[in-house]
Structure 1
Amino acid sequence: MTDIQSLFAQMVGRFDSAAAAGLEAVFQYRLDEGDAYYAAISNGECTLGEGEHDEPSVTLLMDTETFKEVLDGETNGMQAFMAGRIRAEGDIMLATRLETLFPVS
């Protein structure tokens, strides 16, 4: 498992199914280094996929360092977005739920 894969596995491991009640969504991640993964949420479960999803609800673009910092809680995702370190395409409001869906702890 690559470092990037383990980061995504860590994120999915923190998934809060209660926060996802009634949510059907696909969060596509595209890292500047070329890695693409997605987290698909359906029926209170989250599955991780590698590559590009056919119909992502929102796509988040960032570099690996930013992803690590947000995952570790060093950087607030919304602040990183406002600072231009994270770019989003699609349902941007959905991206605001990430902190509750995948709490840092």
Structure 2
Amino acid sequence: MSALELLHKLPLAINLQSTAGVDRTIQFNISQPAYVVIRNGACEVTEGSAENADLSLKMSDDDLVSLLTGKLDGMAAMMTGKLKLQGDMALAAQLGRYFDAGKLQ
């Protein structure tokens, strides 16, 4: 499955309890950029670039697939340069709680 296809599956993996009251936009800078809007337990994926993303992630497609499916640890990816973040680092730290990686396999 491609990175973009996996991003489009994120609404199926959203953790409703963890995202209640959340209103954030996350930009994924991969070969085909896309952004995710998380708003009050809902998740919408749009291809392209967000005007005002709270957080931007830049990484290879393969690394994003590994990250989203739980095969790559986000902190390890940052430390090894596989993941570059810009924006709200507190949001980055919480992303793992917003989605159930098991539903993306």
Above 0.5 in TM-score? yes
Secondary structure of the equivalent of 1:47? strand
Residue identity over aligned pairs, in percent, reads 25
In the TM superposition, residue 13 of structure 1 has moved relative to its aligned partner by 1.6
CA–CA distance in 2 between the matches of 1:57 and 1:104? 22
Report what 2:50 is aligned to: 53
**Structure 1: gaps spanning 5 or more residues:** none
3-state DSSP of counterpart to 2:9: helix
1:29 lines up with 2:28 in the alignment: yes
Q: Distance in 2 between matches of 1:104 and 1:73?
A: 6
1:39 equivalenced with 2:36 (yes/no): yes
Cα shift readout 1:23-46 (whole Å, capped 9, x = no counterpart):
110010001x3x111110112211
In the other structure, the counterpart of 2:98 is 101
Is contact 1:40-1:46 (8 Å) kept? yes
Which of 47, 51, 61 is the matching residue for 1:64?
A: 61
Q: What are structure 2's unaligned runs of at least 5 residues? A: none
Corresponding position of 1:8: 7
- Is this contact kept in 1: 2:14–2:41, CA < 8 A? no
Instruction: Select between 46-55 and 4-13 the one with higher mean Cα deviation.
Output: 4-13
How far 1:72 moved relative to its partner? 1.8
Q: TM-score by structure 2 length?
A: 0.88
What's the CA shift string for 1:33-87, capped at 9, x where partnerless? Answer: 3x11111011221111110011100000000011011122111112211221100
Aligned-pair RMSD on alpha carbons?
A: 1.5
